[in-house]
Amino acid sequence: MNEEILVKIYKYCAYQDRSQKEILEKLADLGVEGEEETEKILEHLRIERFWDEERFARNFARGKFRIKGWGKLKIRRELRMKGVPKHLIEIAVLEEIEVSDYTATLEKFLLKKKKELKAAPAFTIKVKVYNYLSQKGFEDEVIYKAMDRLIEND
């Protein structure tokens, strides 16, 4: 294994958790060719704990939910785009996001958007709140339940 490439990929993985897809793209950018060499580097990264796909998925899900307020649909979509296996996506989403925190976050966004639209007709408020929460990645049924509780039916 080329030591220069190893140092660069160590730095890349040490900066933040990476998915396998991101690491493979970086290795290709660094000029690593051949499946055997790539597999050796991946195994080395795994052994040295520079890369762990489950850790990446968990940290990604937790971070995007807590910091950006993303819903589960958006987190799942982004993890799929990063090449994370489906079973690890489900582990990350189900174990890293507490139901009570999820509901509280959704309600916080709902009330904030409703307050911004206070002068609008009730139907307009519902449509805009739904669109906003849907864009954030929250599921339809969760949005509808929260809207039924928190927005008066006119």
Helix 122-135 with 99-116: angle, nearest 10 deg: 130
Q: What is the pLDDT of residue 75?
A: 98
Domain that holds residue 132: 99-150
3-class SS at 52?
Answer: coil
Question: Looking up tokens 């489950």, which residue turns up?
Answer: 54
As a residue count, the chain comes to 154
Q: Are residues 103 and 138 in the same domain?
A: yes
pLDDT-based confidence at 154, cuts 50/70/90?
Answer: very low
Q: Are residues 43 and 82 in the same domain?
A: no
Question: Is 121 exposed, middle or buried (CB count within 10 Å of its CB: 0-12, 13-18, 19+)?
Answer: exposed
Please check whether residue 133 is in contact with residue 144, taking contact to mean a CB–CB distance below 8 angstroms: no
Q: Are residues 65 and 106 in the same domain?
A: no
Q: Are residues 9 and 23 in the same domain?
A: yes
Q: Are residues 17 and 57 in the same domain?
A: no
Q: Are residues 107 and 140 in the same domain?
A: yes
Q: Is the pTM of this model over 0.85?
A: yes
Please check whether residue 105 is in contact with residue 113, taking contact to mean a CB–CB distance below 8 angstroms: no
To the nearest 10°, report the CA torsion of 8, 10, 12, 17: 170
Q: Are residues 108 and 91 in the same domain?
A: no
Q: What is the pLDDT of residue 93?
A: 97
pLDDT-based confidence at 28, cuts 50/70/90?
Answer: very high
Q: Is the pLDDT of residue 152 over 90?
A: no
Q: Are residues 78 and 107 in the same domain?
A: no
Reference 49, options 5, 91, 13; nearest CA is: 13
Q: What is the pLDDT of residue 119?
A: 85
Average pLDDT over residues 12-22: 95
Average pLDDT over residues 117-130: 90
Q: Are residues 42 and 67 in the same domain?
A: no
Question: Looking up tokens 């937790």, which residue turns up?
Answer: 62
Reference 96, options 119, 130, 117, 72; nearest CA is: 72
* Number of domains into which the chain is organized: 3
Q: What is the pLDDT of residue 15?
A: 94
Q: Is the pLDDT of residue 153 over 60?
A: no
Q: Are residues 110 and 146 in the same domain?
A: yes
